[in-house]
């Protein structure tokens, strides 16, 4: 007789964003496997209202208190959903006994405390928030070891590496025989653009990713290739790989998501159509595999798969990320904070596109990169870096 599986109780942090939407699409396809224990959003009241009607979560957290009040006012009285507000509530739902699996999909450093709370509670944590590992990767991975948490990546590239590496029953990877890890990058919308013209880039151009459907901030990160720099940092900390053994290749088709080179000459690659539902489904169901709604890859229809090295003149953010990684955890926290401030300023049309790396570089130079070994000290460094970056943006605006 086939045993009856108890559904995973899933908390989705960042439910109204692109990661949340893709995760909830998969969850809706498998009601026998997954139940929603909690959802969170920042201030998207209408989006969260629709999710509450569809999934009927027991509890919802809105980080913005006004949004929480507005959501409470528009939810049907028949729904069993409790609406809570504030940052602390995110950590509460992520670590609650009623939750088995946490999808960490909040963009930026804002999602870090809840992610760490879930890890310390020994949850199965699916990390899409690359900033969590960039800012506090060493702390998170140590907490996972100490508390028996299973941490799985759902960034497409890191999930691809995970699929190509040997794994233990708790999802830890084994680097025995591994020579190099290679992350691929589409090159974004400016892969062939003359670097001399980047000052004229508009917001609309920067967020128009050629292959992936993503949020505005991460789309800009793809255009600058800071996303790949953050992913190199993430890979080094998640897989315990020395930075000098991690490569980046431009691959415009976004079909090969990562490669693992072994010492015997073998190279294993994970391939698939560019759809975030593939890595999310892989992590949600691991070590099994489930249907995700993604179209199968038709290899016969592909005319070519191209690979090349990134142009450092076109993508200076990649070198800044590698420099920060070599400097240590405090420097990567500074890097991430400065990038968030600079990208936000660009999206608000307060900064030119080509000035994003300038703000990051000046902030890295201005803020002390002493080692930080606690979440509190890292968050203090984060706030200090944001102040410096914001001041630098203000100077450029004058």
**370 known member of a binding site:** no
306 annotated as belonging to a binding site for a ligand? no
215 is in an annotated binding site: yes
Q: Is 222 annotated as a binding residue?
A: yes
Sheet with 267-271: list strands edge to edge: 246-250, 178-185, 256-262, 267-271
- Asked if 344 and 386 touch (Cβ cutoff 8 Å), the reply is no
- Residue 27 annotated as part of some ligand binding site: no
In which element (H, E) is residue 257 found? Answer: strand 256-262
Structure tokens at 254: 């976004």
Ligand-binding annotation for 311, yes or no, is no
Binding residue per annotation — 17?
yes
* Bridging pattern class, strands 59-62 and 34-41: parallel
Instruction: Tell whether 288 is in a known binding site.
Output: no
**Residue 155, marked binder:** yes
The end-to-end CA distance of the chain, in Å, is: 73
Is 227 annotated for ligand binding? yes
- Give the Cα separation of 61 and 36 in Å (integer): 13
CA quadruple 2, 277, 156, 33: dihedral sign:
negative
Spatial CB neighbours of 177, under 8 Å, sequence gap ≥ 6:
262, 263, 264
Please state, in angstroms and rounded to a whole number, the distance separating the CA atoms of residues 218 and 222.
6
d(CA 345, CA 395): 12
Per-residue tokens: 285: 């169901």
131 assigned binding-site residue: yes
- 78 annotated ligand binder: no
Known binding positions: 16-19, 44, 129-131, 155-157, 186, 209, 215, 222, 227-228, 231
Known binding positions for Mn(2+): 155, 157, 231
Known binding positions for NADPH: 16-19, 44, 129, 131, 215
Known binding positions for 1-deoxy-D-xylulose 5-phosphate: 130, 156-157, 186, 209, 222, 227-228, 231
């Amino acid at each position: 007789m086939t045993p009856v599986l108890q559904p995973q109780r899933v908390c989705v942090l960042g439910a109204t964003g692109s990661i949340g939407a893709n995760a909830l699409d998969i969850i809706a396809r498998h009601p026998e496997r997954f139940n929603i224990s909690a959802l969170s959003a920042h201030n998207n009241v209408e989006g969260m209202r629709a999710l509450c009607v569809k999934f009927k979560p027991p509890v919802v957290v809105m980080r913005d208190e006004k949004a929480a009040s507005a959501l409470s006012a528009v939810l049907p009285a028949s729904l069993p959903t409790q609406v809570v507000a504030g940052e602390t509530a995110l950590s509460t739902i992520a670590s609650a006994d009623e939750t088995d699996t946490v999808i960490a999909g909040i963009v930026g450093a804002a999602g870090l405390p809840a992610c760490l709370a879930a890890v310390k509670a020994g949850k199965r944590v699916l990390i899409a928030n690359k900033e969590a590992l960039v800012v506090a990767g060493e702390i998170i991975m140590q907490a996972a070891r100490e508390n028996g948490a299973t941490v799985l990546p759902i960034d497409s590239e890191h999930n691809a590496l995970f699929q190509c590496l040997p794994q233990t029953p708790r999802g830890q990877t084994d680097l025995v025989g591994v020579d190099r890890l290679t992350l691929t990058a589409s090159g974004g919308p400016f892969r062939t653009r003359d670097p001399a013209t980047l000052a004229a880039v508009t917001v609309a151009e920067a967020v128009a990713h050629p292959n992936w459907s993503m949020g505005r901030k991460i789309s800009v990160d793809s255009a600058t290739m800071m996303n790949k720099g953050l992913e190199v940092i993430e890979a080094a900390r998640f897989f315990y790989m020395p930075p000098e053994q991690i490569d980046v290749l431009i691959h415009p088709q976004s079909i090969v998501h990562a490669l693992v080179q072994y010492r015997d000459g073998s190279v294993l690659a994970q391939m698939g159509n560019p759809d975030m539902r593939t890595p999310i489904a892989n992590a949600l169901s691991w070590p099994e595999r489930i249907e995700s709604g993604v179209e199968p890859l038709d290899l016969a229809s592909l005319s070519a798969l191209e690979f090349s090295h990134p142009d450092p003149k076109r993508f200076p953010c990649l070198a800044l990320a590698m420099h920060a990684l070599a400097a240590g955890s405090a420097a990567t926290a500074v890097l991430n904070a400065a990038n968030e401030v600079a990208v936000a300023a660009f999206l608000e049309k307060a900064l030119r596109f080509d000035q994003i790396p300038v703000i990051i570089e000046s902030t890295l130079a201005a803020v002390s990169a002493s080692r930080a070994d606690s979440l509190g000290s890292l968050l203090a460094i984060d706030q200090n870096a944001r102040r410096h970056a914001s001041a630098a943006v203000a100077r450029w605006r004058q």
